[in-house]
Every structure is written in C-alpha cells, then in structure tokens.
Structure 1
C-alpha cells in the first residue's frame, strides 16, 4: 500500500480516536451537568457524534486492513491494474485521455486519478493495449480504446531512473 495513503488514514484514525476518548466524553459530561437529558440538545448531539465517530473508525480500520493485504507483486506486468497509467481514446468525446488507476482515497477525476472501484476504473482493469471497453457512466455510454499502458512496475522503474539520474547530477562537480 502506498505509504502516503496509510499515513493519511492513520492520521484520521488518530484524530477520531482522540475525539472519541477525550473530547466527546468531556462534552457528554458537561451536557449531563446541565440537567434533564430528555430535552438536552447538547447531550443528544454529543451522543449522535459519538455514534458517527465510532462508525467512521470502524470503516477506516477495515479499509486499512484491506489495503494492507494488497500485494503489489500480484499486480500484472502486462495488463492494467492498480497504479497503471493508461492512455485511452474516447470515441464518444473524440479525444485521448490519460488515467491513472488509484485507490478511492486518492481519486481526483480532474487530475486523471480514477479509482479502481469507479465504473471507468473497473472497466479498464486487466486490459491490454488495443483492447476496447464500453463503460456506462452517469453521462451515458463511452467507448474507450487502450492506446498506451504503463503499469505500476513500469512507473516504479521510471521513478528509480529519475532518482538515479538526479543523484548522479548532484555528485558531479
């Protein structure tokens, strides 16, 4: 799992755990001191927030567990998968588009980062250059042809080469 996603989820978990164990009990205690709980809006709001925080913590911990089980070695080297950068021709829009398949936490359609769980992401999984897929989106059907593909493994090699070149450039003097 990419470390920045793990760190982001861990940060949110830590903040919610602090709220659940420190802030909410103090709010509830303060609200109880105000008296009649049946008509105490502060008490009811704090209890509702407590339920929400507990549910969100459960979701985040489950997601951390799911992401921890992702084995990057199992991602194909010759087909699209998590982390792949894919250039497609969208015949509906008559244009080339570049997408990168990412986790739902990282998705940002405006930057071309699409989740592997989105309709387009799911349709593009396990495809090769030359494959054509039809995707049903909220805006209607789209036909996408895979023109170029760089898997997560290819991208890792590109980044390593860039870092190696940069390191070599800083030692020359």
Structure 2
C-alpha cells in the first residue's frame, strides 16, 4: 500500500468529515429513502432516485476517507525541526521571494487533500513544492509553470 502523507491538522479534518458523514449525513439519507419509499411507486419517484444517488455519494466518500486514513502517514511538522535541519520537507512552512515579481509568499507543504492556496497550503505533489523539496534558506528553486520558468528564493524554513 502507498502511504498518504498528511499533517496532524489534515488528518484531524478528514476524521471530522468522516464522523459527520457517518453520524449525520448517512442517517439523513436513510431517512430520506424511507420517506420516498412511503410515497409508493418507486419507478417514477424522483425523490427516491435523488436519495439513492446521494446515498451512493455518501457511502463512496466514507469508503474513500476510511481508505486514506488507514493508509495515512501522519506527520507533525514540529517534530521535523531536529531531523530536517533547515531543509524544505513535507509539512514545512516556507517563506519565498518570487524573483520575477519581487514579491514574498509563504506556503506550507501539505498532503493533496489538505491543499488550499487561500490558506497558504500547497500540495506536496504541486510543481512548486516538488521544486522546493530538499532546498535550504538561501537556495533558489526553478519552477516550471505554464507561463514559463519562475524562480523562487527560499528565505526561511519553519516547522510549525
């Protein structure tokens, strides 16, 4: 099995979503199916069809989350400070300077399910994260972007 890297925060979010799906969404769908069944003929019952479709989505998402959590490699970025020694690794928060635009940005490198650019979290499999992995403060990373090659200087690496 392939291990799926997650930060502690990301794993907790997936657990909360899984709990909500099992304790709130699943019972609501079951109740909706029962209600639709009580209306009689199922062959032309749009409510029944919609409820069954939603049930398929909920059950599929539950299975997906259970699979991800069972294969998760949960990494606490605070534990990396001693082993990473200033190197950009999964879970690190990296302050960068875009050398082309002369602007500063800060990103945390997280798992695919946790990535949210608005929160400054980028996926470990994104081009910029792949270019940054292994770099140290002062290094320059070249990122192949759709608009051409962009250069980022690593200003600081933190494990928070």
Q: State the TM-score, normalizing by the size of structure 2.
A: 0.76
- Rounded Cα–Cα distance in structure 2 between residues aligned with 1:83 and 1:71: 7
SS at match of 1:39: coil
The answer for the alignment partner of 1:92 in structure 2 is: 100
Gapped regions of structure 2 (runs ≥ 5): 1-5
Deviation at 1:138, TM superposition (A): 5.0
Q: Quick check: which one's helix share is greater?
A: 1
Q: 1:58 to 1:133 in 2, by over 3 A?
A: same
2:55 is paired with a residue whose SS is: helix
Normalized per residue, the structure richer in strand is 2
Residue from 45, 49, 58 that aligns with 1:44: 49
Judging changes above 3 Å, is the alpha-carbon distance between structure 1 residues 139 and 54 closer, same or farther for their aligned structure 2 residues? farther
For the pair 1:57 / 2:65, whether they are aligned, the reply is no
Taking CA–CA contacts closer than 8 Å with sequence separation of 6 or more, which of the two structures ends up with the larger relative contact order?
Answer: 2
Q: CA offsets, 1:64-120, max 9 Å, x none? A: 2233x2355676334111221222221221223222223345434234332323322
Correspondence 1:124 to 2:132: yes
Cα separation, partners in 2 of 1:44 and 1:95, compared to 1, 3 Å:
same
Aligned residues: 150
In 2 relative to 1, CA 2–146 (structure 1 residues): closer, same or farther, beyond 3 Å? closer
Taking the aligned partners of 1:127 and 1:32, their CA distance within structure 2 comes to 60
TM-score normalised by the chain length of structure 1: 0.71
2:109 alignment partner, SS class: strand
5+ residue gaps, structure 1 = 156-173
Give the greater-gyration-radius structure (CA).
Answer: 1
Match of 2:90 among 34, 57, 82: 82
The answer to which of 113-122 and 100-109 deviates more is 100-109
Q: Indicate the larger mover: 4-13 or 100-109.
A: 100-109
Preserved CA contact (<8 Å) 2:7 2:91: no
1:14 aligns with 2:19: yes
User: Contact 2:97 / 2:104 at 8 angstroms: preserved in 1?
Assistant: yes
* In 2, Cα distance between equivalents of 1:119 and 1:58: 29
